[in-house]
């Protein structure tokens, strides 16, 4: 039995198609990531799975329970950390924990082992109001509150958004330790670099899942040689390469442009010849290995172009 199973879920808000026939399964004890930008539909999926929102159509189960019929059972089985800070700002750290424990008919002591590692880090601030904590500390407290009743499945909606890099790293280390306790974790993030920390990911855009696999497999399925180039006038280079018929796809990527060619075999020299037509000053080009973000962009372009750009070579 899957820990989470989603089949053809659709959710519209008026004319906005927020979730468009989404299906995926999560194994027990898996760390599964929903990766996508703002507005991709991640929160709607989480709210449907935590029984806070009804889907228009489709079915979903959590630990074998139906999200509509068995909503009461599910609420005891899951821990949910919503995207926006959900704690009581005027209550202290300890009061927040005790409040959530009471709601679930448990105590801080009963499941202390589960939250010990995380709680120890916020314990020095136990009498501080939640509203006065730093972003990283709030996030740790929210995670403790979501874990207080020892859930089988943990839903974390963008837990690291707006949190500093060090706290983000610490948070993912905490998730790795929770995973060892056999808790299934479904986490959403707009940060593509966090995808690699998941066992499997679903790349979601405009309510549709574009790919589900292990992050390494998704990267390996990138079908073309990827190049990175820059020039003194990068904006002009972008326009020139985009207009060139030899270039399949070109987009900005940090201080570089990332691009692929239509030709199956391509070299830096071939690229330099194409770019040379536009006489770019300070031109540099190198081969690069694609990462999840490159795959996401390619899949998104394929979706928008309705298939003129393929993700895999044999499509």
Ligand X SMILES: Nc1ncnc2c1ncn2[C@@H]1O[C@H](COP(=O)(O)OP(=O)(O)OP(=O)(O)O)[C@@H](O)[C@H]1O
Stretches 20-28, 34-42, 139-147, 240-248: which one binds ligand X (CB under 6 A)?
34-42
- Contact between 42 and ligand X (CB under 6 A)? yes
- Contact between 61 and ligand X (CB under 6 A)? no
Q: Which is nearer to ligand X, 154 or 274 (CB)?
A: 154
Residues 223 and 312 sit within 8 Å (Cβ to Cβ): yes
What minimum distance in Å lies between the beta carbon of 160 and ligand X?
Answer: 12
Q: Which of 29, 39, 135, 223 binds ligand X (CB under 6 A)?
A: 39
Q: How far apart are CA 57 and CA 52, in angstroms?
A: 15
Stretches 36-44, 172-180, 195-203, 259-267: which one binds ligand X (CB under 6 A)?
36-44
Q: What region does 126 belong to: left with phi over 0, alpha with psi -120 to 50, or beta?
A: alpha
Q: Which of 16, 52, 68, 313 binds ligand X (CB under 6 A)?
A: 16
- Contact between 44 and ligand X (CB under 6 A)? yes
Number of chain residues interacting with ligand X (CB under 6 A): 13
Can you give the C-alpha Rg of the chain in angstroms? 23
List, as one string, the DSSP characters of 245-258: TTEEEEEEETTEEE
CB atoms within 10 A of CB 240: 19
Q: Which of 3, 43, 167, 205 binds ligand X (CB under 6 A)?
A: 43
- Contact between 33 and ligand X (CB under 6 A)? no
Q: Which is nearer to ligand X, 189 or 249 (CB)?
A: 189
Q: E strands of the chain, at which residues?
A: 4-13, 16-26, 31-35, 57-62, 65-66, 78-81, 153-157, 184-189, 200-205, 208-213, 226-230, 247-253, 256-261, 284-288
> DSSP character for 310?
-
**For residue 242, what are the contacts with CB-CB under 8 A and spacing of at least 6?**
250
Q: Which is nearer to ligand X, 42 or 258 (CB)?
A: 42
Distances (CA, A) of 202 to 42, 145, 173, 206, 282: 10, 26, 21, 13, 39
Q: Which is nearer to ligand X, 42 or 230 (CB)?
A: 42
Q: Which of 18, 22, 226, 257 binds ligand X (CB under 6 A)?
A: 18
What minimum distance in Å lies between the beta carbon of 43 and ligand X?
Answer: 3
Q: Which is nearer to ligand X, 159 or 280 (CB)?
A: 159
Q: Which is nearer to ligand X, 125 or 296 (CB)?
A: 296
Residue the block writes with tokens 């082992």? 113
Write out the residues near ligand X by the rule CB under 6 A: 13, 16, 18, 36, 38-44, 83, 158
């Amino acid at each position: 039995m899957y820990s989470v199973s989603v089949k053809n879920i659709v959710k519209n808000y008026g004319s906005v198609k927020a979730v468009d026939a989404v299906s995926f399964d999560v194994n027990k004890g898996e760390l599964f990531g929903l990766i996508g930008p703002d507005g991709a539909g991640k929160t709607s999926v989480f709210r449907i799975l935590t029984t806070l929102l009804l889907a228009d159509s489709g079915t979903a189960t959590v630990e074998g329970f139906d999200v509509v019929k068995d909503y009461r059972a599910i609420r005891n089985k899951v821990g949910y950390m919503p995207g926006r800070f959900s704690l009581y700002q005027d209550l202290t750290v300890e009061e927040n924990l005790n409040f959530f424990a009471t709601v679930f008919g448990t105590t801080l002591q009963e499941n202390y082992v589960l939250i010990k590692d995380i709680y120890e880090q916020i314990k020095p601030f136990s009498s501080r109001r939640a509203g006065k904590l730093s972003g990283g500390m709030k996030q740790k407290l929210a995670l403790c509150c979501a874990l207080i009743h020892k859930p089988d499945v943990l839903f974390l909606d963008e837990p690291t958004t707006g949190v500093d890099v060090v706290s983000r790293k610490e948070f993912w280390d905490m998730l790795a330790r929770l995973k060892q306790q056999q808790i299934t974790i479904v986490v959403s993030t707009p940060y593509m670099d966090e995808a690699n920390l998941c066992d499997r990911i679903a790349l979601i855009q405009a309510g549709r899942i574009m790919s589900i696999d292990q992050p390494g497999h998704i990267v390996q399925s990138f079908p073309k040689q990827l190049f990175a180039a820059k020039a003194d006038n990068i904006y002009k280079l972008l326009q020139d390469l985009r207009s060139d018929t030899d270039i399949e796809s070109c987009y900005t990527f940090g201080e570089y442009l990332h691009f692929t060619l239509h030709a199956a075999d391509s070299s830096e020299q071939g690229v330099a010849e194409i770019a040379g037509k536009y006489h770019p000053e300070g031109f540099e080009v190198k081969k690069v290995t694609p990462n999840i973000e490159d795959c996401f962009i390619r899949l998104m372009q394929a979706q928008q172009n309705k298939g003129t750009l393929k993700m895999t070579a044999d499509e």
